[in-house]
C-alpha cells in the first residue's frame, strides 16, 4: 500500500493521515469548499476539492471519490467514521474497482447495518439479547401483545437507525399504535427503511462496548471495553476504559461474546460490539458498529496499540501480530468529546468562529482535533471540535488530569461541552463509578452548569479581591489598567 485516500474530514481525517505518514504511506485528502483551509486539507500530501459544502454534494459522493483514486493512483480508501464508512454499496464499489477498502467486507457492513439482520446473524451463538421482536413489525396488534408480554415501557427502534436517532419509548399500551405509526414514518424518512422492532426498555443500563479486531485469516482478538454511559440524545459525550464495574470474569465473557458477534459476519478490521449492562451486571447485545469508532483513542491508550495502523496492516492481508494473551490493560483513559454545543441550552449546536483556541498539553494528555484559532466551525457537519483524552495510572488520577486539561483548554467564540465535562469529572456519581445512561437527565441541567460557573466566578472574584488587596498594599496605588485583569478573569468565556 503506497497511497491512501481518506474519505473524511476534521479530526479523524488528520488522525488517520498521521498514522499513514508514520507508516511511510502517502496521503490524499478530499475537501469541500467549506474545508479549503482545513488542517486535513493542508496536512495531506495531495488534496482534491470534492464539491460544495453540503455532504451530499461532497463527502458522500462515492463515485467521484473512486474517480479521484483512479486519477491519482490511490491503493486504498480509509472512510473514517460517519459519511461513507458504513455504506455497504460504497465499500463494494471500491473493491470492484480494485481499490482496498480499509474496513470490513460489504457483506459484514450490510448485515450489521441492520439491527434486525445483526440479531438474526448472531442468533446461532449463545449471546444474551434484549427481549423483544426479532422481525420487522408488520402486524401492529401482534406487536402490542408482544409488548404487553415483555412489559412496558418498551422501546420502538428503527432497524436502520444510528447516531442515537430512530428510537421511541412507549410507556404504556394506550400510546402503542400511535407511537408505532410515528416511528415507522420517521424511520422511512430518516433512513429510507420503515422496518421497526421493539425491545424491552432496560431501565437503568450502562452502555459498555467491546473493541474487536479480526484479520483476513480468521484470527480475532478483543481489546477490552469502553464505558460510554454518559450520553445526551442517546449519543456519547464521555467515554472511558476500563469500565469501573466490570470484573475480570465479566470482561472475559463479554469479550468472548463480542468475538462471536464478529465471527457471525466473518468480520475483518476494527469493529465495536455494543452491549447494555443492567444493575445486576447482566449484559445484552445491542448492535455492532462496523468502523473505527469516535472513542477508539481510549482503547489505544490502555492497550498501547494504534488501531489505524492495525486496520491498515489487516487491509494489506497481514495476520494479527499479537494474540489475546499478549494483550493487557495498562492504566486508565478518559475521553471528552468537545462539541460546539451549548450544554445550558439542551446541547444545541452552536456554530461560529473560534476566536480563542488554546490547546492543553503535557504528559498523558492527547488532543485529537482539526481546528486552529480563528477558524470557523462549519454548519454543514457534525459539530465536534475535538476529542480530549487523558491517561493515567488510576481512574482517580485520570479524572483529575481531565479536570486540569479542561481548565487549560481555552475556547471562546462558541459554546462547548468543556464546562459540562468538568461537571461530569466533579460529580460524585461519576467519581464513584456508579452511574448509568441517565446520568445527564438525572444530574445535569443548564442551571447546574451556571451555578458552577457562578461558584467559580465567585471564587475567582474573591481570589481577585485578595490579590488586589495584596498588590494594593505592595504598591499602594494600582494603575487603572490592572483593574481589568480581575474582571476579565470573572467573565472568563468558554
Residues forming contacts to Mg ion in the complex (CB under 5 A) are 274
Residue 437 lies near ligand ADP (rule: CB under 6 A):
yes
Shortest distance (Å) from residue 154 CB to ligand ADP: 8
Shortest distance (Å) from residue 274 CB to Mg ion: 5
Q: Which span sits near ligand ADP by CB under 6 A: 200-208, 303-311, 322-330, 358-366?
A: 200-208
Say if residues 130 and 119 touch (Cβ distance below 8 Å). no
Q: What whole-number distance in Å separates Cα of residue 102 and Cα of residue 99? A: 9
Q: What whole-number distance in Å separates Cα of residue 393 and Cα of residue 102? A: 33
Can you read off the three cell numbers belonging to residue 213?
Answer: 479486531
Long-range contacts of residues 464-468, Cβ cutoff 8 Å, at least 24 apart = 464/489, 464/490
Shortest distance (Å) from residue 230 CB to ligand ADP: 10
Question: Rule CB under 6 A: which of 235-274 touch ligand ADP?
Answer: 235-236, 274
Shortest distance (Å) from residue 177 CB to ligand ADP: 20
Residue of this chain nearest to ligand ADP (CB atom): 162
Q: What is the DSSP letter of 171?
A: -
Q: By C-beta, is 101 or 284 nearer to ligand ADP?
A: 284
CA of 80: how far to CAs of 223, 306, 424, in Å? 19, 14, 28
Say if residues 411 and 434 touch (Cβ distance below 8 Å). no
Residues in a beta bridge with 411: 357
# binding residues, ligand ADP (CB under 6 A): 28
Say if residues 452 and 422 touch (Cβ distance below 8 Å). yes
Shortest distance (Å) from residue 278 CB to ligand ADP: 9
Taking the CA atoms of 243, 247, 249 and 250 in sequence, report the sign of the dihedral they define. negative
Residue 73 lies near ligand ADP (rule: CB under 6 A):
no
Is 472 among the catalytic positions? no
3 state DSSP class of 36: coil
Q: By C-beta, is 149 or 477 nearer to ligand ADP?
A: 149
Q: By C-beta, is 240 or 274 nearer to Mg ion?
A: 274
Q: By C-beta, is 163 or 304 nearer to ligand ADP?
A: 163
Q: What does 51 bind: Mg ion, ligand ADP, none (CB cut-off 5 to 8 Å by kind)?
A: none
Q: What does 198 bind: Mg ion, ligand ADP, none (CB cut-off 5 to 8 Å by kind)?
A: none
Q: What whole-number distance in Å separates Cα of residue 347 and Cα of residue 369? A: 20
Residue 162 lies near ligand ADP (rule: CB under 6 A):
yes
Q: By C-beta, is 117 or 397 nearer to Mg ion?
A: 117
Q: Kind of pairing, strands 76-78 and 3-6? A: parallel
Q: What whole-number distance in Å separates Cα of residue 301 and Cα of residue 361? A: 16
Shortest distance (Å) from residue 94 CB to ligand ADP: 19
Q: What whole-number distance in Å separates Cα of residue 381 and Cα of residue 55? A: 8
Q: What whole-number distance in Å separates Cα of residue 244 and Cα of residue 32? A: 41
CA of 414: how far to CAs of 366, 384, 474, in Å? 22, 12, 39
Q: By C-beta, is 163 or 218 nearer to ligand ADP?
A: 163
Q: What whole-number distance in Å separates Cα of residue 250 and Cα of residue 275? A: 12
Shortest distance (Å) from residue 124 CB to ligand ADP: 21
Q: What whole-number distance in Å separates Cα of residue 255 and Cα of residue 304? A: 18
Q: Which span sits near ligand ADP by CB under 6 A: 162-170, 300-308, 349-357, 456-464?
A: 162-170
Q: Which span sits near ligand ADP by CB under 6 A: 181-189, 293-301, 400-408, 447-455?
A: 293-301
Residue 90 lies near ligand ADP (rule: CB under 6 A):
no
Question: Rule CB under 6 A: which residues touch ligand ADP?
Answer: 81-82, 130, 155, 161-164, 199-202, 205, 207, 231, 234-236, 274, 276, 286-287, 289, 293-295, 382, 437
Which residues are known catalytic residues? Answer: 291
Amino acid at each position: 500500500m503506497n497511497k491512501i485516500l481518506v474519505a473524511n474530514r476534521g479530526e479523524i481525517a488528520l488522525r488517520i493521515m498521521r498514522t499513514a505518514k508514520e507508516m511511510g504511506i502517502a496521503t490524499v485528502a478530499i475537501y469541500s469548499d467549506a474545508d479549503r483551509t482545513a488542517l486535513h486539507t493542508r496536512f495531506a500530501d495531495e488534496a482534491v476539492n470534492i464539491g460544495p459544502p453540503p455532504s451530499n454534494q461532497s463527502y458522500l459522493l462515492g463515485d467521484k471519490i473512486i474517480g479521484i483514486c483512479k486519477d491519482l493512483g490511490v491503493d486504498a480508501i480509509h472512510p473514517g467514521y460517519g459519511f461513507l464508512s458504513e455504506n455497504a454499496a460504497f465499500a463494494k464499489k471500491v473493491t470492484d474497482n480494485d481499490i482496498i477498502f480499509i474496513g470490513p467486507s460489504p457483506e459484514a457492513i450490510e448485515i450489521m447495518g441492520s439491527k434486525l439482520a445483526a440479531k438474526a446473524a448472531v442468533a446461532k451463538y449463545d449471546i444474551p439479547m434484549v427481549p423483544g421482536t426479532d422481525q420487522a413489525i408488520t402486524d401492529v396488534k401482534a406487536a402490542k401483545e408482544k409488548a404487553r408480554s415483555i412489559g412496558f415501557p418498551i422501546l420502538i427502534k428503527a432497524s436502520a437507525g444510528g447516531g442515537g436517532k430512530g428510537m421511541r419509548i412507549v410507556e404504556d399500551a394506550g400510546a402503542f399504535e400511535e407511537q408505532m405509526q410515528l416511528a415507522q414514518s420517521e424511520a422511512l424518512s430518516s433512513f429510507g427503511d420503515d422496518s421497526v422492532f421493539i425491545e424491552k426498555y432496560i431501565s437503568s443500563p450502562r452502555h459498555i462496548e467491546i473493541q474487536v479486531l479480526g484479520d483476513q485469516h480468521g484470527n480475532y482478538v478483543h481489546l477490552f471495553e469502553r464505558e460510554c454511559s454518559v450520553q445526551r440524545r442517546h449519543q456519547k459525550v464521555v467515554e472511558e476504559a476500563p469500565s469501573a464495574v466490570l470484573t475480570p470474569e465479566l470482561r472475559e465473557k463479554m469479550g468472548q461474546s463480542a468475538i462471536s458477534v464478529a465471527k457471525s459476519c466473518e468480520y475483518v478490521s476494527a469493529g465495536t460490539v455494543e452491549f447494555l449492562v443492567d444493575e445486576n451486571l447482566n449484559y445484552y447485545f445491542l448492535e455492532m458498529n462496523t468502523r473505527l469508532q469516535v472513542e477508539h483513542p481510549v482503547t489505544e491508550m490502555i492497550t498501547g496499540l494504534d488501531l489505524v495502523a492495525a486496520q491498515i496492516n489487516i487491509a494489506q492481508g497481514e495476520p494479527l501480530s499479537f494474540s489475546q494473551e499478549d494483550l493487557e490493560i495498562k492504566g486508565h483513559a478518559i475521553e471528552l468529546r468537545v462539541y460546539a454545543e451549548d450544554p445550558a441550552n439542551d446541547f444545541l449546536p452552536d456554530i461560529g468562529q473560534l476566536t480563542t483556541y488554546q490547546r492543553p498539553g503535557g504528559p498523558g494528555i492527547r488532543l485529537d482535533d482539526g481546528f486552529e484559532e480563528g477558524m470557523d466551525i462549519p454548519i454543514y457537519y457534525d459539530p465536534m471540535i475535538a476529542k480530549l483524552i487523558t491517561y493515567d495510572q488510576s481512574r482517580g488520577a485520570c479524572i483529575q488530569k481531565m479536570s486540569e486539561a479542561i481548565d487549560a483548554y481555552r475556547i471562546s467564540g462558541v459554546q462547548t461541552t468543556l464546562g459540562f465535562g468538568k461537571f461530569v469529572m466533579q460529580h460524585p456519581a461519576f467519581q464513584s463509578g456508579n452511574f448509568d445512561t441517565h446520568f445527564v437527565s438525572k444530574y445535569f441541567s443548564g442551571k447546574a452548569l451556571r451555578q458552577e460557573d457562578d461558584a467559580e466566578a465567585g471564587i475567582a472574584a474573591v481570589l481577585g479581591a485578595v490579590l488586589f488587596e495584596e498588590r494594593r498594599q505592595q504598591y499602594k496605588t494600582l494603575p487603572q489598567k490592572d483593574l481589568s485583569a480581575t474582571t476579565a478573569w470573572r467573565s472568563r468565556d468558554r
